[in-house]
Structure 1
Amino acid sequence: MLDLGATPPCEKLLDDQALDQAEVTYPLHLRVCADCLLLQIPALITPEDTFTEYAYFSSFSDSWVEHARRFVTDAVDRLDLNGDSFVVEVASNDGYLLRHVLDAGVRCLGIEPSVNVGAAAVERGVPTVTAFLDEAAGRRVRAEHGPADLVVANNVYAHIPDVLGFTRGLRALVADDGWVSIEVHHALALITQAQYDTIYHEHFQYYTVASATNALATAGLTVVDVELIETHGGSIRLWARPAAAAGPPSARVADALAIEADAGLHDVAGYVGLQHRVELQRQQLLGFLLECRTAGKRVVGYGAPGKGNTLLNYCGIRSDLIEYLVDRNPYKHGKFTPGARIPVHPVEVLDKDRPDVIVVLPWNLEAEITAQLAYTAEWGAVLVYPLPNLHVVDALSGAKEGMQS
């Protein structure tokens, strides 16, 4: 249903010695299953390829850390968690969420496959084991640490080629009367807003509430509540329990399913047309950048997220259109983006070079990044957010100006 060509894995940043070497690319083709309506791409890379050493550290996003803090506060109240409770987070990254669990006085454990990121969590005092979750790993953790009252799996359910094995792992971790909370990008936003940059090789699936409910049911987990949240341009937070303890679902589950059905996403026909909308997005962005080039404006990018590399490579953007990127993560400094090979520098370079236009690749963090970059208004820079609709933001006032394709 969507062909984005072939690109390298999005988190495989290059050092300068790799610039004379070939890069392996893989097709990036989004497909929908006619039987269960799960959106997916072929599993052409393994989690070990991506996550053994990982370039993404959650704590570099202030808004994401705050999002995690609010979630923990609400979960402690909702589930009456206390010093006798136990929380496990799968794909716990650098401890960005579990540090708030510790602050609440609740025992916790992170399961993180990336050695370098997990080490950062341990340095913060967050207990973390290095593992990829499957049923066997879930059983080992349960045997050693006990069943979890709450298992958190934020922005990981889409990263698993073996959905069935991972889901059985969640069930192995959670107590028979416990809870599983999953946050994942909502396929409704992907389809209706043509958010093509959310598609990359480490994202194997793209869920609706309907398809996620089916997936969780394969391991005896029942969705009992759902929240529509704004993260990542539109996500869902699913609350599930072992079937015997589940009870009837909340009205919010039925409401979310109705929204999806109204958008046509409970039928294969609702997914056609995405290719055309994505092509229009590309044409609009390239047209804008070419106009800047013709006008002699200096254009750089803010952020070097994985999703940004899908955008850069699909649109064919190179350093003639976006000179370089800046990023808050020191791990990425001095490296080059995969495929497009655009250099990545510290954010402080902006103040030195004072570019005319700053294209923000993590567009889903618009409020946070606009505030961070307010100082660029001193020299008249404008911020450009490429998706879901290309628009310019005044760095000082936050006022938006849309663009016509």
Structure 2
Amino acid sequence: MTTTCRLCGSQDLVSVVDLGATPPCERFLTAEQLDEPEPTYPLHLRFCVDCHLAQLPPLITPEETFTEYAYFSSYSTSWVEHARRFVAGAVERLGLGPDAFVVEVASNDGYLLRHVVERGIRCLGIEPAANVGAVARERGVPTLTAFLTPQTGAQVRAEHGPADLVVANNVYAHVPDVIGFTEGLRALVADDGWVVIEVQHLLTLMAGNQFDTIYHEHFQYYTVDSARRALASGGLALVDVERLPTHGGSIRLWARPAEAVAADGPAPSARMAAVLDEEKAAGLHEPAGYAGFAERVAKVRRDLLRFLIEAAEQGRTVVGYGAPGKGNTLLNFCGVRPDLLPYTVDRNPYKHGRYTPGARIPILPPERIAADRPDYVLVLPWNLRDELVAELSYVREWGGRLVFPIPELEVVS
């Protein structure tokens, strides 16, 4: 399981970083579960020398993580705005009108398709988490509760017709059966349609020391090079790439059915070629490009623990902001427990009264920060830095400071 590439079947995998064993990052605990055993799984990222896919072994299934899910996209205002801009741009670029059909895979709570609905364009969300999909339907976004497989894609196509646009944002890393999922995308899309995928870029993960985005529900981590190979495995051809700032650095992949591209479709874009050249220059198409990453990760742990221990010894209070999946990788790898971080807060009411997996840090409503006036606030969703610096500006009223752990420890006023 740990020595075979899930994309090409090669057994030539090399270690990138070993983060030990942690619980799944979205399994937030209730008070009643604190005295129960908590399973942990190895968190070891490896690189396939043959197809260049960076990957974790599939030790947990998507069904274990996504049947009921704690993440609701609409709680991030910047993310909703990002989705609105994408919809507006895609409608213009592809000329989508009232007769078009748009499908989003892993549509969450309708954060993106609500903008499609507002434009009067027919759409459907495919969302495996029943609790999240129910919220989307309440907001007027048609949503099917299902995981995407080739069979699901064929069923949706038969019932609703082929999609002019299939969107799969922040899900392509979440599927262990990357070939079957890609075949499902191909089943959904019209023969002359488009598939658009947003996924974190391994180039910026490495350059920005973003090891906390490595967790069990992310099964693979893409360069444009490996994404092109993965898409081809299911009959899709990558023709364009955009660089995005989201999640610390992402790529938006524009793909079409391979036969359409082979017939008369566009050649790969200049910006796609430019990103491939940048990846190659960084060494990410070969094992040597990943040397030294594990040591940079270890330095983050040492620096964060040193800061938290010194703050505790000086009698200064540090609390957290946010309870994202990435934060749980950070807290567990660094060994942070409630003696160093007594609580964190989160805007999502689903998490209130629960505890972070592994570290078991209480999660409280955001109002608790103003009530307690801590000396420092450790920001765990650092990818939302601009949004949260503005949101937490009130911390300055009592001289409090924000702390960002990634890419290196930074304390800001």
TM-score (norm 2): 0.95
Letter of the 1:21 counterpart: E
Give the 3-state SS of the residue equivalent to 1:224 in structure 2.
Answer: strand
* Corresponding residue for residue 280 of structure 1: 299
Match of 1:312 in 2: 331
- Is 1:147 paired with 2:166? no
Shift of 1:304: 0.2
Q: Does residue 201 of structure 1 match 2:216?
A: yes
Which structure 1 segments of 5+ residues have no match? 395-405
Q: What is the number of equivalent residue pairs in this alignment?
A: 394
Percent pairwise identity:
68
1:256-267 equivalence runs, <5 A: 256-267=275-286
- Separation in structure 2 between the aligned mates of residue 272 and residue 32 of structure 1, nearest angstrom: 11
Q: Paired residue for 1:402?
A: none
1:187 maps to what in 2? 202
Alignment partner, residue 355 of structure 2: 336
Aligned counterparts, 1:354-393, within 5 A: 354-393=373-412
2:36 maps to which of 21, 38, 47: 21
Q: Which of 250, 257, 260 is the aligned partner of 1:235?
A: 250
**Structure 2 match to 1:397:** none
Counterpart code for 1:187:
L
- 1:135 aligned partner: 150
3-state SS of the aligned residue for 1:19? helix
Match of 2:171 in 1: 156
TM-score (norm 1): 0.96
- The code of the aligned residue for 2:208 comes to Q
Are 2:77 and 1:77 aligned? Answer: no
Residue 92 of structure 1 is matched in structure 2 by: 107
> Following the alignment from structure 1 to structure 2, what is the Cα–Cα distance between the partners of residues 209 and 242?
17
In the alignment, residue 220 of structure 1 is paired with which amino acid?
G
Aligned AA (2:329): T
Q: Distance in 1 between matches of 2:296 and 2:408?
A: 11
Partner Cα separation in structure 2 for residue 219 and residue 6 of structure 1: 32
* Alpha-carbon distance in 2 for matches of 1:147, 1:381: 54
Deviation sequence 1:277-325 (CA, Å, 0-9, x none)? 1001111111111121121111100000011000000000001111100
1:305-353 deviation line (CA, Å, top 9, x unaligned): 0110000000000011111000000000000000000000000111111
Tell me the distance in 2 between the aligned counterparts of 1:115 and 1:158. Answer: 20
Which residue of structure 1 aligns with residue 232 of structure 2?
Answer: 217
Q: In structure 1, the residue corresponding to 2:283 is in which secondary structure?
A: coil
The amino acid across from 2:241 in the alignment is: V
How far 1:389 sits from its partner (Å)? 2.2
- What is the rounded CA distance, in whole Å, between the counterparts of 1:207 and 1:97 in structure 2? 23
Letter in 1 for 2:191: D
The one-letter amino acid of 2:153's match is G
Q: Residues of 1 paired with 2:205 and 2:268: CA distance? A: 25
Q: Does the residue aligned with 2:307 lie in a helix, a strand or coil?
A: helix
Structure 1 residue 393: Cα displacement:
2.3
Distance in structure 2 (CA, Å) of the matches to 1:208 and 1:355: 40
2:140 equivalent to 1:125: yes
| 3-state SS of paired residue (1:159) | coil
Q: What residue in structure 2 maps to residue 403 of structure 1?
A: none
Matched letter for residue 27 of structure 1 = P
Query: Mind listing any 5+ residue stretches in structure 2 that lack a counterpart?
Result: 1-15
2:68 is the counterpart of 1:53: yes
